[in-house]
Amino acid sequence: MLEQLSDRFQKVFKYLKGEAKITEDNMKTALREIKLSLLEADVNYKVVKEFIEKVRAQALGSEVAQSLSPYQQIIKIVRDELENMLGGSSQDLKTSSVKPAVIMMVGLQGTGKTTSTGKLALHLRHQGRSVLLCSIDLKRLAAVEQLRTIAREMDLPFFEPQGDKPVAIGKNLLGHAREYGYDVVLVDTAGRLHIDESLMDELLDVHRSLNPLEVIYVADALTGQDAVNSALAFNEKIPIDSVLLTKMDADARGGAALSIVNVTGLPIKFIGVGEKSSDLERFHPDRMASKILGMGDVLSLIERAEQQFDEKQAERMAQKLMRNEFTLEDFRDQLMQVSKLGSMSDIMGMLPGQMSVGIKKDQIDDEKNAKRMKHMVAIINSMTFDERHNPKLINGRRRVRIARGSGRAVSEVNQLLKQFLEIKNVMKKPMFRKMLKKFDFLSKMG
């Protein structure tokens, strides 16, 4: 998502970099391109106008004109204004000493509200909170069953709604949550394909009975300005506290993400970045701004790695690499760990532009890469213990046996062994050894 917008911004900055100094004329050209880029991304025109005026005022100021690097100053100005447009700083959910804290999920039908409810519950459980799920969406026949299934798959407790009165169900839910001492109650509410009075009346009644700590509006990023307009309409009837944007991994233009905070005054607190139960992230305006400008989102990549990688295992691996004891078994374990970080296109999207130069998302075949990784793991698993620890033992006959055992071609076995040997050779290089020693020093420093 936002890839086209990012490309346009980088072209603008490339143009400015070629200029000897920043003038009113070249800034006029640059700002026109930025304006068109934002409008094409379906950003609200009022938001675009305000953004352009703020950038222009700062870009033509004396500080930039006298700067030794006006080009870098312009990038900083645009980045700061983008960050402000997206909300300024990240915000977490509200907290309360009173238990249970009720979080009410609202939004139109088809935005991913029920799925997001499950993802948010998993996110809260990872923070050490006990979470109870419940659906009060009695209009859509499969809604309760869908959330029940999600709860079962995530091994999360689910409250079975009894009856057909949402307010009564809400009271029973709170009583049950207090009795069993749950920290948080996540309530999935009814949605429609469009906003109507009956929907709003029902949600208002549920809101009064539950008295939620936070109401989260779930918006579909693919719907652009429709998501912004719907959020405004909901907020006029029900006090909304924050926004969760779904489908941020899709090929959408991104206008909803760039407009919704400015237009509604509501912060985006979470974004859905995939279909897996773990594909929910806290929203960081500064990181999103950097990503749009081609600076990547390395911090999010590091956080994801910290969640998936075992610290002690990583330290042991570093020690092995320093002693040149890296085996095919270690290689297999690393492949399995990397696969947990997400797709290759997702990872590349988090790297700064210069680190992924020439590589576009549509050039990366994630399905093919995932299969290739599974095949490599299967090949290594088909080797004996001695073969994994001493690849020199693998002669022609052994390669045929390994190929048959893994269901792959002998050429793939040869390719994997060649790749492993190349990795081993890189590890022997002084620069790599220096990097490992630095990692070892930092890990000992804590």
Amino acid letter at 446?
A: G
* pLDDT per 10-residue tile (average), the chain, 446 residues: 71 74 79 84 84 85 57 79 84 86 88 90 91 85 86 91 84 90 90 76 85 90 78 84 84 69 87 84 83 60 54 62 76 76 58 45 65 90 92 93 94 91 73 52 40
The sheet that has 242-246: what strands, in order across it? 131-135, 184-188, 101-106, 214-220, 242-246, 268-272, 280-282
pLDDT digits (tens, 9 = 90+) for 295-354: 554 455 555 555 555 556 656 666 666 667 778 888 888 777 766 666 655 655 555 544
In terms of pTM, does the model score above 0.85?
Answer: no
Domains belonging to the chain, first-starting first, are 3-85 (1.20.120.140), 101-295 (3.40.50.300), 301-445 (1.10.260.30)
Amino acid letter at 13?
A: F
pLDDT at 143: 83
pLDDT at 319: 66
Cis peptide before 100 (omega within 30 of 0): yes
> In DSSP terms, which residues pair with 135 in a beta bridge?
188
pLDDT digits (tens, 9 = 90+) for 52-88: 888 888 877 655 555 546 667 777 888 888 888 888 8
Helices (H), 247-327: 255-264, 285-292, 298-308, 311-322
CA 443 to chain centre: 27
pLDDT digits (tens, 9 = 90+) for 196-210: 777 788 888 888 888
